Structure 1
């Protein structure tokens, strides 16, 4: 089972908040206005963000497979993703799907790479919100090694500033971070 099969969309995945929800391309309007220039290469503190896509399949796969249990506890609250046994073909479909969503302006998934681009430290997702009070949902993860080194808090602080400064959203949810999981689940269930 790949991430696409494991996830059924943000609104339906409230209980597990699976890693990369699937959106029916025709059912979801663009997340940002037509005139908004979506960032494609962003320099962060000790990292750079680039859109996920097929060229990053190996570094992405290596990153999440190195941290399965950690991500299941800290990012998804589910064992659906990541899980042992994800195939190279499934990983490629996932990258192609993320690239297509990005191109369609439906959601935006970024790899957080080392400055030289050789290693993925984690990922950031800017997605539609299933809760009407929010313009978008931003979720992120880092590998276990990066978490242990303190990069998770650093990335969260940097991303919240970047989103506030460079994106056209008035109100953004950060489930599991600025909004607790139980509160978020209750908000999403009430929609």
Structure 2
């Protein structure tokens, strides 16, 4: 399973609908179930750029998502999860679907927001962006990003990280966002978690 459930559980352990369009960016108006994000904030459900589009993960994306992370098992174990728990060769179609359903449910409840980063035509997933409540005091949110090995080697990791940082700064209601493994080294993040 994409154990995005595991990826999300890692983040939570590290801690952790109807769309309307405005200015070319779709957003959802689902009422919050959790206090970490403002009730009036309309969570984006579609962002388009010339090179990619960002949409919530869910069952409709199970195949492109599975293909993406399974193409990059070792790369993601080293760069994203720091674990062999996810991804791994034994993930089944049923596991992958459960994971997509879990991510969609968390999104709809406004507990966390998992996004696929797709090619403009939606035929291929280039990576993912996850927005979670921060487990460390002083940060409003924690953001995790991954791209496939091929996209990383082509330089897309740095491009997506810069874009996502700007997106979170301009389009989300957070004053301070943590980017563990990026703006904050893993060793520093681990120290911060241990100190809380």
Q: Same fold (TM over 0.5)?
A: yes
Matches within 5 A, 1:63-142: 63-142=68-147
Name the CA shift for 1:113/1:84 in 2 (closer, same or farther; >3 Å): same
For structure 1, the residue ranges without an aligned partner over 5 or more in a row are: 18-27
Name the CA shift for 1:77/1:120 in 2 (closer, same or farther; >3 Å): same
Matches within 5 A, 1:160-179: 160-179=165-184
- d(CA) in 1 for partners of 2:8 and 2:175? 27
**Preserved CA contact (<8 Å) 1:110 1:123:** yes
Name the CA shift for 1:134/1:45 in 2 (closer, same or farther; >3 Å): farther
Any idea what the Cα deviations from partners look like across 1:69-128, whole Å, max 9, x if unmatched?
Answer: 000111111111001110000000000000000000110000000000000000000001
Tell me the equivalent position of 1:20. none
Tell me the equivalent position of 1:42. 47
Question: Residue 31 of structure 1: CA displacement?
Answer: 3.2
**Residue of 168, 181, 192 corresponding to 1:187:** 192
Matched residue count: 179
For structure 2, the residue ranges without an aligned partner over 5 or more in a row are: 17-32
User: What TM-score comes out, normalization by structure 2 length?
Assistant: 0.86
- d(CA) in 1 for partners of 2:146 and 2:75? 10
Name the CA shift for 1:184/1:52 in 2 (closer, same or farther; >3 Å): same
User: What TM-score comes out, normalization by structure 1 length?
Assistant: 0.88
Matches within 5 A, 1:152-167: 152-167=157-172
Select the structure that is richer in strand.
Answer: 2
- d(CA) in 1 for partners of 2:35 and 2:102? 15
